[in-house]
């Protein structure tokens, strides 16, 4: 059996925010780490699980703010691996869903550095679950499409007319700043103006959310003052939120979640 020359890089999903939603394996790797490269959206309380001697390096990216270049992250991971360190690359949500985990794997593979992937709960699923929205339902949704709300630099813009008819439920990441245009284009693509929608900011932490028909979603987002990071959920299943909701309301919910150990 192949034995790696250096300890593998653990590419770990930090989950949507609440530290208790980490997997047991993720928590163990964090506790064992000698260096952690962490994203901006990873809850700082997760870093408290690391040993005192562990070095913590922020390599986060936030829209409209100074961000760590992706190639620099690759270089840092490779350099630390060649020093024989136990490394955790801590990524918000799940590493392979809009998290650039694939790019980092390819860079490590090209450098002949071993790695492992530890999945995390992605924020789209968590936002829906904490809002009481089942993304699938036998009578309302048999398909779900996860989308990004913006294109990569120099990349192709999302084809919202196509996406409008591509699945029963749409889950849109990084789209709240462009919600007005997204909603307009989805309606132009044939999605009904009265389609139920939900916007959720800081899923599983503040879980600040608004519900509205597609035609009024962007206006309600602005009225509520929601901003990034946020998830948009669009489809008939959103109507079930009022029946399946389980969190305390608004401010009580925020206090409840923030006080969890």
Q: Which of 39, 91, 94, 208 is catalytic?
A: 39
Distance from C-alpha of 168 to C-alpha of 133, rounded to nearest angstrom? 13
Question: What is the bridge-based pairing of β-strands 144-148 and 169-173?
Answer: parallel
pLDDT at 254: 45
Q: 31, 165, 13, 142: which is closest to 89 by C-alpha?
A: 13
Residue 170 has pLDDT above 50, yes or no: yes
**Band of pLDDT at residue 7, cut at 50, 70 and 90:** confident
pTM for the predicted model, two decimal places: 0.88
Compute the average pLDDT of residues 177-185.
96
Q: Is 252 a catalytic residue?
A: no
Residue 182 has pLDDT above 80, yes or no: yes
Question: What is the bridge-based pairing of β-strands 196-201 and 208-213?
Answer: antiparallel
Which stretch of 36-40, 102-106, 158-162 has the lowest confidence by average pLDDT?
158-162
User: What proportion of the chain, given as a percentage, has pLDDT over 70?
Assistant: 89
Q: Calculate the dihedral angle through the C-alpha atoms of 210, 212, 216, 220, rounding to the nearest 10 degrees.
A: -20
Q: Is 25 a catalytic residue?
A: no
Compute the average pLDDT of residues 138-166.
88
**Band of pLDDT at residue 5, cut at 50, 70 and 90:** very low
pLDDT at 253: 44
**Band of pLDDT at residue 156, cut at 50, 70 and 90:** confident
At CA 121, angle to CA 183 and CA 168, rounded to 5? 35
pLDDT at 60: 82
Mean pLDDT of the chain: 91
Q: Which of 48, 52, 61, 252 is catalytic?
A: 61
pLDDT at 157: 79
Compute the average pLDDT of residues 154-163.
83
**Band of pLDDT at residue 153, cut at 50, 70 and 90:** low
pLDDT at 62: 61
């Amino acid at each position: 059996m192949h034995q790696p020359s250096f300890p593998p890089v653990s590419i770990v999903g930090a989950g949507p925010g609440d530290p208790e939603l980490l997997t047991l394996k993720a928590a163990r790797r964090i506790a064992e780490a000698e260096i952690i490269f962490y994203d901006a959206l990873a809850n700082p309380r997760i870093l408290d699980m690391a040993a005192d001697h562990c070095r913590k390096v922020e390599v986060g990216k936030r829209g409209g703010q100074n961000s760590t270049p992706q190639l620099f992250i690759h270089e840092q991971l490779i350099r630390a691996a060649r020093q024989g360190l136990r490394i955790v690359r801590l990524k918000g949500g799940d590493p392979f869903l809009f998290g650039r985990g694939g790019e980092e794997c390819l860079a490590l593979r090209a450098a002949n550095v071993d790695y492992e992937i530890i999945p995390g709960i992605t924020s789209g699923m968590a936002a829906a679950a904490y809002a009481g929205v089942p993304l699938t339902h036998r009578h309302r949704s048999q398909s779900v499409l996860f989308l990004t709300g913006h294109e990569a630099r120099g990349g192709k813009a999302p084809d919202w007319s196509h996406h409008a008819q591509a699945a029963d439920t749409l889950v849109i990441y990084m789209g709240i700043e462009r919600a007005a245009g997204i909603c307009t284009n989805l309606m132009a693509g044939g999605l009904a103006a009265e389609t139920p929608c939900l916007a959720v900011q800081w899923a599983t932490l503040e879980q600040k959310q608004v519900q509205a028909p597609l035609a009024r979603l962007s206006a309600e987002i602005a009225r509520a003052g929601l901003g990034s990071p946020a998830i948009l959920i669009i489809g008939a299943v959103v109507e079930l939120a009022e029946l399946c909701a389980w969190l305390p309301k608004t401010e009580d919910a925020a206090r409840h979640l923030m006080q969890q150990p």
